Amino acid sequence: MIPEWLALTMTVCRGVRGATTVDTDDRDEILKATTQLLALMIRRNDIQTVDVASAIFTVTKDLQSEFPALAARQLGWLEVPLLCSYEVSVERSLPRCIRILLHWNTDRSQSEIHHVYIRDAVKLRPDLNVVPSVDFEELEQWIQEHLRDDC
């Protein structure tokens, strides 16, 4: 059994989930939607890049124009291991969907993690859709401040 004082300061790896959708299979649209989703996940959870163990990005098979992980590289995640994959193709699945699973080293409990579902992806987990309204203009300003020119 872990002593209570140690459990209060223990760092563990937690999963942070998020999903969004795009209207078309377009490179710029995929990168913009992924960057917005990732930025919201970072901001809602106060995630520092150095604490991210890895990230998995999945897309539905109708998205082929760009690797969504490029959005993370453009935000400066140059040392974080990233992986892209296709989502399991199920007949009734949400089309043109991008999902992210971050593996985050944190001292927060699982109940303190904020998962982010935006656009049509709110249909995937309505029980987790407690994201405050998003000021996308302000979010874009934050993104521009954090983009790297060398990616």
pLDDT in tens, 19-75: 999 999 999 999 999 999 999 999 999 999 999 999 999 999 999 999 999 999 999
Among the listed residues 144, 57, 138, 38, the one whose alpha carbon sits nearest the alpha carbon of residue 97: 57
Q: Is the pLDDT of residue 151 over 60?
A: no
Q: What is the pLDDT of residue 150?
A: 59
pLDDT tens across 100-123, in order? 999 999 999 999 999 999 998 988
Q: Per-residue pLDDT for 128 more than 80?
A: no
Class of domain 15-127: alpha beta
Helix spans in 1-151 (H)? 4-7, 27-45, 69-74, 136-146
pTM of the model: 0.86
Structural domain spans, the chain:
15-127
